[in-house]
Structure 1
Amino acid sequence: MTNWKSVYEKWNAFQSLDSQLKKELDDLQTNQEKLEDAFYKELTFGTGGIRGVLGVGTNRMNIYTIRKAVHGLAEYLLNNVVNVKDRGVVVAYDSRYMSREFAIETAKTLGVFGIRTYVFKTIRPTPLLSFAVRFLGTAAGVMITASHNPPEYNGFKVYNEDGGQMVPNEANKIIEAIQQIENELEIPVVEQEVLEQQELLIWIDEEVDNAYLQQLKQITKLPVEEVKQEKDLNIVFTPLHGTAYSLVTKGLEQLAFTNVSVVEEQAKPDPEFSTVASPNPEEHQAFSMAIELGKKVDADILLGTDPDADRLGVAVKNEIGDYTVLTGNQLGALLVDYILSHTNKVLLSNYRLLKTIVTSELGQAVAKSYGVKTINTLTGFKYISEKIHQFDSTGEAFAFGYEESYGYLISSFTRDKDAVQAAVMASEMAYYWKQQGKSLLDALDGLYEKHGYYREGMSSLTLEGMAGTEKIALIMNTIRENSFKEIAGYRVEQVEDYLVSERYITSTGEIETIELPQENVLKFILQNNNWVCLRPSGTEPKIKCYFGTCGASLSESEETLGVFKERINQVINEIIS
């Protein structure tokens, strides 16, 4: 990028700069480090779009960042998708700061090209946006969200006409179009009132919600006669100040789950997420209030969704009356088992389980026991969605898709991870096992006994700013050039380098081709069914390390995990120090 100071000066000299952003820019004059961080690079497309801290600058989320991304999207659509102006683009947004404003900016920018935009009147979950693209037949979709990031973040996710997040070959064309834009400050827009008069901005209400709920009814595995019977299951639900309240409660009501208690303090949308340290159901602290309410009402299961309702966390009452929060891998394996055990056996051979390369192998072992093949994808649900789309031509059938970070898809009427579907199915599964006199923890123990004691873990290191980006690159390059022969005493049997799409077999020196898109990921397959994987995050200034083990007992697997984490952290610290 051009020298950051010249970019800053361009913004500072721009007479029509948004007044709030102008004030922020003036406040930054005395802080050279923050000023540099705001302008030293442009926000780039990562996992499905752009995401960043709100504020002034090219490295921040603001109306100019949005306009630039939307302008690139419009150019891409007009050159690559048919009948764009008539079909239009649908836009949804969550409860974060500036989400509604960014949704309107999207419409204002598309309007210059004569592209109609459908915008929801109020906040909606990400999976509903994915569904809306398919239901309305639009050329694309946009979701304004930063998912479970802290309050100071927002983001812009782009969906293709199939309802899945843009995959690299699509995103790269948008990036090319964005790079042609010389000045993000001078991108033209059409005012909202004009768009409404010309019917280039159409506000949508509950029509899409109702159609989604009709589809949601169909995912149940319960016998027809049981669907409308009141269910003996006590549920606590928290939307963590986000978008899931309406669809989850209505979805549960459709299956006659009548004992649902909502954490009222977390039911209202709140951009500050004021009752949690992080609005992420992967973090156990996010369940504190749900656990408190669960104990009061003697709940069997606790459900927690992130702000844009694409991730679901579940906690289950254990034998001492406390609550155990399931990992994403554990809930995923349970759902694989429940869904496949309630699927017609004649159809199973054509079904496919989809999961990512950093997701537990337990799900694959469960699927194999039902005769179902597993297909691994790169990290990011866009790749799972892409595979589902490919099934239209291969004739394969989608069974279930999931990733370790609490993302699940039960039915492909949406094409992104869907916490609404997952919340309903997890409740149904808990009800099924309760009828057998078991909890989900008992069911999980059964899977471990049958398939092996799989355990997984993840650690991440945040390295912010330009220096952080350089350190993350240094870590990946150093490990790539000095590949492990063993990790904590476990021999490396295969090295998978997704940047060059190669798998190296250490015992023979043979090299195999990995039939997946190229991405900066390294995975080490170790002896005894263990593995370690490193990848920079696509949406945050982090390097993530994933670990998988399978021992003779849970305690053995936990011990091995700890050893792996310690060794990898030691290597990373040596590199950056």
Structure 2
Amino acid sequence: MNTWEKAYEKWNTFQNLDPALKKNLREIKDDKAAIEDAFYKELTFGTGGMRGVLGPGTNRMNIYTVRKAVNGLANYLKVNCVNVNDRGVVVSYDSRHMSKEFAVETAKVLGSYGIKAYVFSELHPTPLLSFAVRYLGAVAGVMITASHNPPEYNGFKVYNEEGGQIVPDEAESIISYIEQTESELTVPIIERTELLEKDLLNWIGSEIDNAYLEQLKQISKLGEKDIAKDKALSIVFTPLHGTSYDLVLKGLDQLSFPQVHVVEEQAKPDPEFSTVESPNPEEHQAFTLAIKQGNKVDGDILIGTDPDADRLGVAVRDTDQSFKVLTGNQLGSLLLDYILSHTDQALLPNARVLKTIVTTELGRAIATHYGARTIDTLTGFKYIGEKIHQFDSTGETFIFGFEESYGYLISSFSRDKDAVQAAMMACEMAYFWKQQGKTLLEALGALYEKHGYFLEGMSSLTLKGKEGSDKIAMIMEEVRKNPLKEIAGLKVEKMEDYATGKRTSFGAQELQETMDLPNENALKFILEKNSWVCLRPSGTEPKIKCYYGVCEDSKEASQRSLDSLKDAMNNLINRVVQHN
């Protein structure tokens, strides 16, 4: 009997198996492929948590795999943190299938260890979970979400006591405790009534929302009189069936934006995300209904948040009056310029801008122009959160953090990307430029004129299964063994290998230096003419991704350079794949 067959048999004969999951097992009892896929491995707990398809099995998101993860987390907290029982763990959840159920299951397992759980009584955004951990002085946080994955998915994200996503060292330790759990089916729990009797389950009401909104108001760059004045800006807002509806509307009301038009078809939580192909503001199709409404109400700006409200997409009017969706790099650059231009000059020398290694270099150019310093982190907002925590001891001032995948943070009262903060600042910024007689696209054009036409792109190759994983490893090994000295006719000036932590400069002589970054399997080539290429395997999908950045004097020249880099790297990757 195969390992997956044994696992299936264990579940199928477990007397106390959840009735809904038992019914699901019966439905696939004659589908060998479906059973194998559900049981051939355990759902992977990665650097931030786990994410998977809902259903029965060790390779699925269900109450038992959630309990196992919480069991490992509880044991980790008991060993590595202080006053765990009293400080407790904050738990939030989004609009997906089983989200609230998984939140309660989390409390049940924590309660069996005597650890108090603070659970939001209604669904709430990820940034509220981050904020609540620090506000309540909790020892950790758990967010039940699969972000913008398809409806059949859910996930389990862990946050540390600083309100940031756990970093690799923390994740590895938690995983070691999860692996010590004998069986996901027999993890101890306490039922809800007993949790309430023992004060181990505390439902969070409006207190956290109010405290968050008070902090949210402080991020504005407007004076008190300007904040109180009604603003002539037509805003169309869609929460894409997720969690941001209340907080975004209350936040905009605080800033006196009376013309907010909600896309009603997408206003209510819907685990099926029935009006979109994907509930992801990075995808232009997610703005279809918002654009339709924007044309009806003569909208100035369209804003859309993903289901757990940690990513924000924005669309604005083009010269032909059509709406254009800004890239994450473009919106981030605009926000950065607005924030720095409205910051006291005396604070700028100590100001720090955080971005990832694959985020636009326009951000660095803007920061340098104002006298602020830019620091690169590895890909993933957890590293930005970790760096902000370091600033608490170094005395450096966090001013803005962003990544190309639509994640932004303006103020560190949250320690993860925050679409609610970003929505407020994007609308305030659009209002500011409208007062100057400009659209956001015109403001962006002015940034390009001043700093150069920065353009970015990304391509990926999907290689599934063990053979695919081997080929991805082979590509990375090949490029490491034979470092590129030129790409698309552009000379390589430096190579940064994040797996070894070494930066190599190529000049009259080859020089090496150590980078102050955690290790990650990624390679970046810094090219002449402000261009770069970064190659990295995806941490969540069977893909190898290649990111590109260029800077020329015009959009056309930048597009030609970007296309050349893409062609060169795609040819290189295909050549390695075909020869091995």
Counterpart CA distance in 2 for 1:173 and 1:567 is 40
Give the structure 1 partner of residue 142 of structure 2.
142
Contact 2:355 2:401 in 1 (8 A): yes
What is the 5 A alignment of 1:175-574? 175-507=175-507, 508-574=509-575
Would the alpha carbon gap of residues 497 and 436 (structure 1) be closer, same or farther in structure 2, given more than 3 Å must change? Answer: same
SS of the aligned residue for 1:480 comes to helix
Q: Distance in 2 between matches of 1:14 and 1:462?
A: 38
Give me the whole-angstrom Cα distance separating, in 2, the residues matched to 1:371 and 1:177. 46
1:10/1:514 CA distance change after superposition, 3 Å: farther
- Indicate the residue corresponding to 1:51 in structure 2: 51
Is contact 1:37–1:466 with CA below 8 Å preserved after alignment?
Answer: no
RMSD: 1.7
Cα 1:358–1:320 shift into 2, 3 Å:
same
Q: What secondary structure sits across from 1:358 in the alignment?
A: coil
Question: Partners of 1:313 and 1:72 in 2: how far apart?
Answer: 35
| SS of residue paired to 2:565 | helix
Name the CA distance, whole Å, in 2 between partners of 1:521 and 1:4.
33
Letter matched to residue 261 of structure 2: S
Deviations along 1:257-283, one digit per CA (max 9) or x if unpaired, are 001101000101111111111111011
Distance in 2, matches of 1:238 and 1:227, equals 23
Q: Which runs of no fewer than 5 residues in structure 1 stay unpaired?
A: none
CA distance, structure 2, for counterparts of residue 357 and residue 6 of structure 1 = 44
User: Could you report, residue by residue, the CA deviation over 1:553-577 in whole angstroms, capped at 9, with x for unpaired residues?
Assistant: 1111112222222333333334445
The letter for the 2-side match of 1:420 is V
Corresponding residue number in structure 2 for 1:85: 85
With over 3 angstroms needed to count, the CA separation of the structure-2 counterparts of 1:443 and 1:386, relative to structure 1, is same
Distance 1:538 1:184, change over 3 A: same
Contact preservation (8 Å) 2:47, 2:168: no
Distance 2:490 2:352 in 1: 31
Give 1:463 deviation, angstroms. 4.0
Q: Which moved more, 1:349-358 or 1:5-14?
A: 5-14
Query: How big is the shift at 1:160?
Result: 0.8
Which whole-Å CA distance do the structure 2 matches of 1:482 and 1:56 have between them?
A: 46
Instruction: Check conservation: 1:49, 1:156, Cα contact below 8 A.
Output: yes
Q: Cα distance, 1:544 vs. partner?
A: 2.3
Task: Go from structure 1 to structure 2 and tell me whether the alpha carbon gap of 1:463 and 1:275 turns closer, same or farther (over 3 Å shift).
Answer: farther
**Residue 95 (str. 1) matches residue 118 (str. 2):** no
SS at structure 1 position matched to 2:529: helix
Partner of 1:314, secondary structure, is strand
Contact 2:316-2:324 within 8 A present in 1 as well: yes
The one-letter amino acid of 1:567's match is: A
Equivalent residue letter for 2:393: S
Higher mean alpha-carbon deviation, 53-62 vs 358-367, is at 53-62
1:528 is paired with a residue of what secondary structure? coil
Distance in 2, Cα, partners of 1:201 & 1:467: 47
Which amino acid is the alignment partner of residue 112 of structure 1? S
Structure 1 residue 525, shift from structure 2 partner:
1.5
The percent of aligned pairs where both chains have the same amino acid is: 66
Q: Which residue of 1 aligns with 2:73?
A: 73
Structure 2: distance between partners of 1:34 and 1:483: 43
SS where residue 278 of structure 2 aligns? coil
The farther-off stretch of 491-500 and 567-576 is: 567-576
Q: Secondary structure at the match of 2:92?
A: strand
Give 1:47 deviation, angstroms: 4.4
Residue 47 of structure 2 contacts residue 172 of structure 2 at CA under 8 Å; is this kept in 1? no
* Aligned counterparts of 2:432 and 2:49: Cα–Cα separation in 1: 39
**Shift of residue 119, structure 1, vs aligned partner:** 0.7
In the aligned structure 1, how far is the partner of 2:103 from the partner of 2:206? 18
Q: 2:519 and 2:372 mapped to 1: Cα distance?
A: 27
User: Which one-letter code corresponds to 1:544 in the other structure?
Assistant: K
- Give the Cα–Cα distance (whole angstroms) in 2 for the partners of residues 469 and 539 of structure 1: 12
Pair 1:471–1:154, CA change in 2 (3 A): farther
Note if contact 2:47-2:171 (Cα within 8 Å) is conserved in structure 1: no
1:521 CA drift (Å): 1.3
Q: Provide the rounded CA distance (Å) in 2 between the counterparts of 1:177 and 1:329.
A: 38
Q: Matched residues in 2 for 1:466 and 1:57: separation?
A: 21
Q: Distance in 2 between matches of 1:109 and 1:475?
A: 43
Shift of 1:533: 1.2
Compare 369-378 and 535-544 and name the one that shifted more: 535-544
Q: Distance in 2 between matches of 1:301 and 1:397?
A: 30
Deviation at 1:385, TM superposition (A): 0.8
Tell me the CA shift for residue 405 of structure 1: 0.5
> Within 2, Cα distance between the matches of 1:12 and 1:471?
37
Q: TM-score of the superposition, structure 2-length normalised?
A: 0.96
SS at the partner of 1:445? helix
Structure 2 counterpart SS, 1:72: helix
Where 1:118 maps in the other structure, the secondary structure is strand
CA contact (8 A) 1:47 1:539 kept: no
Question: What amino acid maps onto 1:69 in structure 2?
Answer: A
Aligned partners of 2:120 and 2:204 also within 8 Å: yes
SS at match of 1:269: coil
* Aligned residue number for residue 12 of structure 1: 12
Residue 321 of structure 1 aligns with an amino acid whose one-letter code is: Q
Give how far 1:492 is off. 2.2
Amino acid at match of 2:252: L
TM-score by length of 1: 0.96
In the alignment, the residues of structure 1 paired with residue 441 and residue 273 of structure 2 have an alpha-carbon distance, to the nearest angstrom, of: 30
Question: Is the contact between residue 494 and residue 506 of structure 1 (CA under 8 Å) also seen in structure 2?
Answer: yes
Distance in structure 1 (CA, Å) of the matches to 2:560 and 2:155: 38
